[in-house]
Amino acid sequence: MSVNKQEVRDIVDAVGGKDNIAAATHCVTRLRFALKDESKVDKEKLDQIDMVKGSFSTNGQFQVVIGQGLVDKVYKEMAEQTGMAESSKEDVKDAASSKLNPIQKAVKMLADIFIPILPAIVTAGLLMGINNILSGAGIFFDDKSLIDVYPQWADLSGIINLIANTAFTFLPALIGWSAVKRFGGSPLLGIVLGLILVHPDLLNAWSYGEAQAKGEVPVWNIFGLEVEKIGYQGQVLPVLFASYLLAKIEVFLNKRVPDSIKLLVVAPITLLVTGFAAFIVIGPITFAAGNFITDGVIAIFDNFAALGGLLYGGLYSLLVVTGMHHTFLAVDLQLVASAGGTFLWPMLALSNIAQGSAAFAMMRIVKDEKQKGLALTSGISAYLGITEPAMFGVNLRYRYPFIAAMIGSAIAGIFITINHVKAFSIGVGGIPGFLSIQSEYWTAFFIGMAIAIVVPFVLTYVFAKFNWKKK
């Protein structure tokens, strides 16, 4: 596919000209700009450019949706036309970060840590869903699972379950790798740190409650100091804080230790100090804090289920707009580890569907052929778990479809929370999300899914009829 050079020039002009671009890069589908002044962006002009599928601003970056394959050619043509040096994603992130407030920086930090490991977690959730179909009782047969009736499938199910559980069993290693890298340390040491926290010689975190009740929690005795010998399987906070400490110690030592002995000094001291700190101080404090947060979230939804569903289900799409939805991934993972499942993630899946339904309604309403095509493709994308094209390319552009999707998602959220729907893991949002839902809640989840499909679609039509002139 060739690049229309005039349209590339139009994109540069629409974002304020080359002098307004501090740095630029691209991902699989989008141009990513760190702009000096976003108020100079002419969104109306951008929307009129054929190759542009939508645009939005998040985490200090202004992003223009182009499409897979074409975006790389557009970026190269833009670099050639403007004479700017091609920037890395880190260059753009650094330029964008300078404009963020402390809260935005904290949200961005969590996003930088969790987004790289998200594919592994989502894949694990999808495979756990497949295993759930094979091993869940009552899905195909009354009070029996598929492998109960056909035991020759049991080993296949066992292998799938092992592959699926690996990402969650060694979650601290994944987080350690990503977090230490984000904090400026060696990712390899982050992996080792995560593996230390789930070493098989430690008491498994999932057995801690039972062992504590029996008074059988193993301990180390270090010169009279008793340290509980427990692992942190499925925990998020211990490895996050330990990773920060590890990275800072490593950076400190690397600046001061001569190159000739770095291999013998930096890594051993870094791991020893961080390891002792993790088991003696960081682990116990953050483990208690994580359980406190989990218990608090559970208490809110146990006592005010409808209100929780209304707020989280209805406002989740706004969290996506601000980028704050990434902070709840840590809560989901903590719920999966400590509560046997998350009741937050199912609302995410329905919110994605609601945005897709509103986009599908817009496909029927708008007259412009480009907008029809964008509504169709972005609606399909939202149904499969990727909502940004539908939200930023269609629904937010006209506003009322976005509101319709929020209302539909809120109603669906209320319904599934009062029915205590849980997912045993994070999975693929949208229609495939049912695979991650515990099978005993499938009926309630499918009803919630129907609400998320029908209500936004109908409301978008109603709002269009009474509040909007068709274009």
| Residues assigned a catalytic role | 27
Cβ neighbours of residue 134 closer than 8 Å, sequence gap 6 or more: 145, 146, 147, 153, 156, 157, 160
Looking up tokens 């499969």 gives 384
Residue 28 CB neighbour total at 10 angstroms = 10
Q: How far apart are the first and last CA of the chain?
A: 30
Looking up tokens 């999707």 gives 405
CA distance 216 to 469: 70
Could you tell me if residue 349 is left (phi over 0), alpha (psi between -120 and 50 degrees) or otherwise beta? alpha
Residue 57 CB neighbour total at 10 angstroms = 17
Looking up tokens 């700009």 gives 33
Two tokens, residue 179: 């977090």
Two tokens, residue 193: 């740190």
**226 φ, ψ (degrees, to nearest 5):** -90, 125
CA distance 274 to 142: 51
Helix intervals (H) in 323-399: 327-339, 345-365, 369-383, 388-390, 396-398
> How many angstroms separate the Cα of 114 from the Cα of each of 86, 110, 172, 173?
26, 6, 12, 12
- How big is the chain by its Cα radius of gyration, in Å? 25
Could you tell me if residue 83 is left (phi over 0), alpha (psi between -120 and 50 degrees) or otherwise beta? left
**463 φ, ψ (degrees, to nearest 5):** -60, -40
Task: List the Cα angle 262/266/270 in 5-degree steps.
Answer: 175
Cα dihedral sign, 439-440-441-443: positive
